[in-house]
């Protein structure tokens, strides 16, 4: 393997891991509420700002800053659900969709207003900026750190979902909302927890994104948000492992596209959408999704 | 329509005509520009409402269709002799470099091209439901924009097209808006419009009534895209310049705000709301300016505040006022008379007698 | 009997959803002019059978023949155009539209004008629209809906909604009418009226009727033949008399009551 191929692969895997982290949030919310949380990408963006202010402005040591950011973002996610989605839970589906778009629009405008539209440089953290040399290529620590963190998170998450009471409740709600309610599961708590976890993961994604692509601005969540949703669809929406697989396919695909077909670099962002449309036509349930028929 | 209402309608149209005439003659160019924008947004929001409000398809592709119309007008109406100046980085493709169209022809061509693209996109995406449709149309809107950005020799890429002749005056714009409104009203009150509404209300029942879902969805989508292209063409000609950044998908959110406020499935609601929102966005520009009373700076007012206010407005409507101004109802003379009689002191003669 | 060509015939249709088999190997025949009933306990697969016949679901196995033509896998709208109309168990009217619009919509499938002639109100369309409205007017009067015609469907009393749904189905000009629990939620008197009503429209519109129903009085009174489903299996078929005395049927119904 040539050294540049190695470099591309490393980059693809780390981008894919970032996509996967954010995609999990989409997939979890979709599994339970059957809605695209359009604001998820913007929650990601807010997390990047939180991290920026924590480290650059308030000079909190990075490990503590990270924990603070994750908690704050989880809270933000719960707040969004509580104020903008819960009141509409019994409303027509389009209303929730519009509400989600509204939240997204609001967060973007709020960020633009509060933090100004000018991009901010994400502070450099020496630990992650160090490079290691493998096979003649020097690769930054962060490039390894991202997939490692993603894998650990995935393991913990799968444990929570498959082994804990909360996870069981989540699976029950996503399988059959009404029955779960009748069985006495506290739906509100389960949904709140889902948003907290999803947003927390988005926060981790945002922090690492900031380290790897050190620029923070109000629209930064839009494209990654859309792509991660696409990753979730590719993997099979509602399925956590699927979201991870989708994330990797997208991340690797994008990096390789740019590397191997450099004349198509301008179409990089179109790649994800084309993939989405192909998957929706040929396998609408995604790679790991199950087919369901709407009851009439 | 009752005879009295017909007369009232004619008076209203005549009144509007006089208003535009006097606007054209006496208003300053800023106000004219705002009015023109309102009318263009009416076209765009109405065509989006045809798709989203009347047919119940959650499409977010309007910015893309609009871009097609705007670019066609830009590409074909810039005078041939000015093109080398506009396309200074990379000359225009020889196939089109010498084709110049009259404004009207370019406008229609833009609409038709947008409709054609909608047709091609419709085949795969209109089989999807709700949020999938939303994300797929949004994706296509971005793909259109990305293609425009990259097709340097046709669109001048990210530099955009400047020097578009300002043909679109108030008559063009209000005339087109008028035609659009009439067309859409006639369409939705026809059998086809009823079929669209049936699909919105209940797809399974509509299909059981013999309505071919896919064909009707595509039809609504194409007609909506056609008028979006027309609206975009007017927009390009009004601005005098188009550039890919003008057509980011967040632009679609503006139209969404308009139709949500006006009422998904109401023509009159959309028109009223297009004027309120568009004019409102202009006249609330002071929110973006620093404001001080005496030596005290009011802290809220600075760039970006206006859009925050608008996004909060959108949220409030969705959460507390879901049907918007009109819901699926239409403003009609009976309703206006009822409102009128509430405010007048004398009861209208004979109004109750019938 | 055997030389009558059935208007509807299913050949071993089966519907599986993931693990569950909702309907297994169902073969029925409905002859022109008959009233045939499909009964069975809750969850037996009756509605699923209707959904397969009307194209909402494509059967996992088996064929559906309508008037000698294989309609398996056809889309619901094509099937309706071919002459099968239906009502739904959980009434599916166009809720926010008026009674008049609800029925007019059901005539759209016979429209010949394209959208442009319709929008521009060209003469051919005007004529078609006029005829459409005339036919709908007749239906509205016959169904006693005239005083409601400008009201929105969701505001109507329950019984009237059921009637409207039948009127709407008839507006598509079917030869075969499928009714999914038309008497659901009705008291004995209303059920009695509905029984006559179904007979009446069957004669007047020259229909064949295939219906699902839990009200046994209605079923026994009007059906010429009955099919009984239980857990997707056809456990009996025959005349009202035969079914009433069939031990398997009694067991199926009693079994359900014990569970409940
Ligand atoms: N789209 C679907 N996906 C999964 N399972 C389904 C679907 N439609 C029906 N079923 C299942 O198939 C079985 C039969 O359902 P069906 O609605 O046909 O029963 P039914 O005989 O009409 O009952 P009822 O008298 O209650 O209306 C049930 O177990 C139901 O849960
Ligand atoms: Mg049923």
Domain locations in chain B as residue ranges:
25-249
Measured distance CA(A119)–CA(C248) in Å, rounded = 76
User: Tokens 């008839």 appear where?
Assistant: C170
Mean pLDDT for chain A overall: 89
The 10s digit of each residue's pLDDT in B28-79 is 888 999 999 999 999 999 999 999 999 999 999 999 999 999 999 999 999 9
Residue carrying the six token digits 């016959």: C142
**For residue C232, which atom of ligand 1 is closest to its CA?**
14
Q: Measured between beta carbons, which residues in chain A are less than 8 angstroms from residue B136?
A: 273, 276-277, 280
Q: What are phi and psi of C114, to 5 degrees?
A: -80, 175
Query: Which pLDDT score, from 0 to 100, does residue B326 have?
Result: 87
pLDDT band at C259 (very low <50, low <70, confident <90, very high): very low
CA distances B189 to A257, C116, C121, C169, Å, are 49, 13, 10, 22
> Could you tell me the CATH superfamily of domain C1-83+174-260?
P-loop containing nucleotide triphosphate hydrolases (3.40.50.300)
Q: Is the CB of C43 under 6 A from ligand 1?
A: yes
- DSSP classification of residue C41: S
Q: How distant is the Cα of C115 from the closest Cα of chain A, in angstroms?
A: 27
Nearest to B212 among C77, C101, C132 (CB): C77
Atom of ligand 1 nearest to the CA of A292: 3
Structure-block tokens of residue C173: 């000009």
pLDDT digits (tens, 9 = 90+) for B249-308: 889 999 999 999 999 999 999 999 999 999 988 888 888 888 777 777 777 788 888 889
Using CB atoms within 10 A of its CB, is residue B163 exposed (0-12), middle (13-18) or buried (19+)? middle
Instruction: List helix spans (H) across chain C.
Output: 46-53, 76-82, 99-105, 115-119, 123-142, 158-171, 188-204, 216-222, 240-244, 247-259
What are the beta bridge partners of residue C26? C13
pLDDT number for residue B353:
40
Q: Whose CA is nearest to atom 8 of ligand 1?
A: A295
Q: Does domain A3-282 have CATH number 1.10.3470?
A: yes
**Rounded-to-integer distance, Cα C54 and Cα C174, Å:** 12
Q: Is C149 in the pocket of ligand 1 (CB under 6 A)?
A: no
DSSP H helices, A213-267, are 222-235, 240-260
The chain-wide mean pLDDT, for chain B, equals: 89
Percent of chain B past pLDDT 90, that is, above it, reads 58
CA distances from A185 to A37, A164, B44, B316 (A): 23, 14, 46, 30
B289-308 residues touching A, CB cutoff 8 A? 302-305, 307-308
CB A69 within 8 A of CB A195: no
C82-106 b/e (C-beta count within 10 Å ≥ 16 → b)? bbbbbbbeebbbbbbbbbbbbbbbb
Query: What percent of chain A is predicted at pLDDT more than 70?
Result: 100
CA distance A23 to A106: 21
Report the pLDDT value the prediction gives residue B346, as an integer from 0 to 100.
Answer: 52
Q: Which residues of B touch C119 (CB under 8 A)?
A: 183, 186-187, 190, 192
Q: Determine the residue among B56, B185, B191, B200 to mutate to test chain C binding: the one whose Cβ has the most chain C Cβ atoms within 10 Å.
A: B191
> Which residues of chain B have a Cβ shorter than 8 Å from any chain C Cβ?
183, 186-187, 190-192, 194-195, 197-198, 201-202, 204-213, 219, 223, 328
ipTM value for the complex = 0.93
The Å distance, Cα A296 to ligand 1 centre, comes to 9
For B78, the 3-state DSSP assignment is: coil
Q: Are B97 and B83 in contact (CB under 8 A)?
A: yes
Domain boundaries along the sequence of chain A? 3-282
Alpha carbon of C47 to ligand 2 centroid (Å) = 4
- Distance (Å, whole) CA B301 – CA B286: 8
Binding partners of C (≥3 Cβ pairs within 8 A)? A, B
Domain ranges of chain C: 1-83+174-260, 93-171
Chains that touch B (3 or more CB pairs under 8 A): A, C
Question: Which ligand 1 atom minimizes the distance to the CA of C15?
Answer: 12
The model's pTM is 0.91
Give the gap in angstroms from C-alpha B285 to the nearest C-alpha of chain A.
14
Top residue of B140, B315, B316, B327 to mutate, by most chain A CBs within 10 Å, is B315
Hey, is the C-beta of C157 within 8 angstroms of any chain A C-beta? Answer: no
Contacting residues of A for C51, CB less than 8 Å apart? 296
* Contacts (Cβ under 8 Å, ≥6 apart) of C167: C103, C139, C140, C142, C143, C145
Least confident of A149-158, B285-294, C14-23, C25-34: B285-294
B205-264 pLDDT, tens digit per residue, is 999 999 999 999 999 999 999 999 999 999 999 999 999 999 998 899 999 999 999 999
Residue C204, token pair as written in the block: 């007047």
Instruction: Tell me the C-alpha distance between A78 and B161, whole Å.
Output: 45
Of ligand 1's atoms, which has the minimum distance to the CA of residue A295? 1
**CB-based contact A296 C17, cutoff 8 Å:** no
- Within 10 Å of residue C237's Cβ, how many Cβ atoms? 18
Nearest atom in ligand 1 to the alpha carbon of residue C45 is 18
**Looking at CA atoms only, how far is residue A294 from chain C in angstroms?**
9
Residue C102 contacts residue C153 (beta carbons within 8 Å) = yes
Q: Is B149 on the interface with A (CB under 8 A)?
A: yes
In this structure, which residue's CA is closest to atom 17 in ligand 1? C47
For chain A, say whether C47 makes contact (Cβ under 8 Å). yes
- Among protein residues, the one with the nearest Cα to ligand 1's atom 31 is C43
């Amino acid at each position: 393997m040539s050294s540049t191929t190695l470099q591309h692969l490393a980059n693809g895997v780390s981008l894919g891991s970032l996509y996967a982290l954010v995609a999990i949030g989409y997939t979890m919310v979709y599994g339970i509420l059957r809605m695209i949380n359009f604001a998820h990408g913007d929650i990601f963006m807010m997390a990047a700002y939180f991290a920026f202010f924590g480290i650059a402005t308030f000079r909190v040591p990075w490990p503590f800053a990270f924990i603070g950011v994750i908690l704050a973002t989880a809270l933000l996610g719960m707040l969004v659900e509580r104020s903008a989605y819960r009141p509409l839970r019994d409303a027509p589906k389009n209303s929730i969709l519009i509400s989600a778009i509204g939240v997204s629009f609001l967060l973007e405008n709020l960020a633009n207003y509060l933090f100004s539209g000018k991009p901010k440089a994400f502070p450099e953290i020496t630990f992650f900026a160090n490079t290691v040399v493998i096979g003649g290529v020097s690769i930054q620590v962060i490039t390894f750190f991202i997939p490692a963190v993603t894998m650990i998170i995935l393991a913990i998450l799968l444990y929570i979902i498959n082994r804990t009471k909360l996870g069981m409740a989540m699976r029950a709600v996503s399988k059959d909302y009404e029955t779960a309610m009748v069985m006495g599961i506290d739906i509100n708590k389960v949904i709140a927890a889902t948003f907290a976890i999803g947003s927390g993961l988005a926060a981790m994604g945002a922090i690492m994104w900031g380290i790897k692509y050190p620029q923070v601005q109000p629209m930064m969540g839009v494209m990654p948000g859309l792509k991660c949703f696409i990753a979730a669809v590719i993997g099979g929406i509602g399925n956590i492992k699927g979201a991870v697989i989708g994330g990797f396919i997208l991340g690797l695909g994008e990096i390789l596209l740019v590397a191997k077909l450099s004349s198509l670099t301008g179409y990089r962002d179109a790649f994800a959408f084309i993939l989405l449309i192909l998957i929706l036509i040929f396998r609408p349930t995604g790679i790991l999704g199950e087919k369901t028929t709407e009851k009439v | 329509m009752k005879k009295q209402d017909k007369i009232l309608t004619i008076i209203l149209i005549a009144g509007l005509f006089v208003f535009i005439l006097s606007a054209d003659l006496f208003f300053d160019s800023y106000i004219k520009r705002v009015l023109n924008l309102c009318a263009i947004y009416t076209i765009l929001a109405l065509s989006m409402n045809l798709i989203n409000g009347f047919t119940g398809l959650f499409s977010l592709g309007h910015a893309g269709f609009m871009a097609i119309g705007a670019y066609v007008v830009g590409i074909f109406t810039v005078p041939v002799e000015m093109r080398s100046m506009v396309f200074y980085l990379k000359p225009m493709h020889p196939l089109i470099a010498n084709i110049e169209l009259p404004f009207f022809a370019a406008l229609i061509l833009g609409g038709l091209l947008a409709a054609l693209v909608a047709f091609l996109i419709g085949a795969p995406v209109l089989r999807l439901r709700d949020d999938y449709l939303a994300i797929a149309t949004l994706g296509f809107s971005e793909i259109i924009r990305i293609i425009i950005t990259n097709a340097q020799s046709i669109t001048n890429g990210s530099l955009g097209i400047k020097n578009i002749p300002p043909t679109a005056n108030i008559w063009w714009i209000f005339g087109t808006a008028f035609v659009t409104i009439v067309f859409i009203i006639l369409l939705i009150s026809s059998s086809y419009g009823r079929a669209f509404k049936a699909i919105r209300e209940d797809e399974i029942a509509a299909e059981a009534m013999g309505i071919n879902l896919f064909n009707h969805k595509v039809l609504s989508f194409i007609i909506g895209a056609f008028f979006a292209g027309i609206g975009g063409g007017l927009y390009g000609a009004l601005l005098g310049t188009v550039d890919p950044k003008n057509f980011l998908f967040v632009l679609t959110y503006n139209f969404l705000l308009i139709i949500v406020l006006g009422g998904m499935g109401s023509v009159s609601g959309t028109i009223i709301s297009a004027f309120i929102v568009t004019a409102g966005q202009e006249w609330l520009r002071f929110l973006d300016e620093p404001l001080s009373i005496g030596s005290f700076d009011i802290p809220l007012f600075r760039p970006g505040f206006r859009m925050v206010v608008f996004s909060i407005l959108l949220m409030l409507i969705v959460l507390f006022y879901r049907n918007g101004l009109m819901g699926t109802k239409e403003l009609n003379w009976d309703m206006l008379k009822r409102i009128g009689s509430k405010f007048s002191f004398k009861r209208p003669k004979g109004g109750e007698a019938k | 009997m055997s030389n009558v060509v059935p208007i509807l015939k299913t050949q071993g249709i089966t519907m599986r959803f993931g693990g569950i088999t909702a309907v297994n190997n169902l073969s029925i025949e409905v002859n022109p002019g008959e009233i045939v009933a499909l009964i069975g306990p809750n969850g037996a697969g009756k509605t699923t059978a209707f959904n397969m016949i009307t194209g909402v679901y494509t059967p996992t196995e088996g064929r559906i023949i309508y008037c000698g033509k294989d309609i398996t896998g056809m889309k619901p709208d094509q099937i309706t155009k071919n002459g099968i109309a239906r009502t739904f168990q959980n009434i599916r009217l166009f809720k926010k539209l008026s009674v008049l619009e609800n029925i007019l919509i059901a005539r759209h499938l016979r429209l010949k004008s394209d959208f442009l002639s319709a929008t521009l109100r060209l003469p051919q369309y005007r004529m078609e629209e006029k005829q459409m409205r005339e036919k709908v007017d007749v239906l509205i009067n016959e169904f006693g809906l005239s005083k409601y015609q400008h009201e929105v469907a969701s505001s109507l009393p329950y019984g009237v909604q059921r009637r409207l749904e039948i009127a709407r189905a008839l507006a598509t000009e079917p030869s075969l009418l499928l009714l999914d629990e038309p008497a659901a939620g009705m008291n004995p008197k209303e059920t009695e009226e509905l029984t006559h009503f179904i007979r009446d429209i069957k004669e007047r519109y020259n229909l064949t009727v295939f219906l699902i129903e839990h009200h046994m009085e209605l079923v026994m009174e009007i059906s010429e033949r009955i099919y009984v489903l239980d857990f997707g299996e056809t456990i009996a078929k025959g005349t009202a008399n035969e079914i009433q005395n069939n031990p398997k049927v009694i067991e199926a119904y009693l079994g359900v009551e014990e569970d409940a």
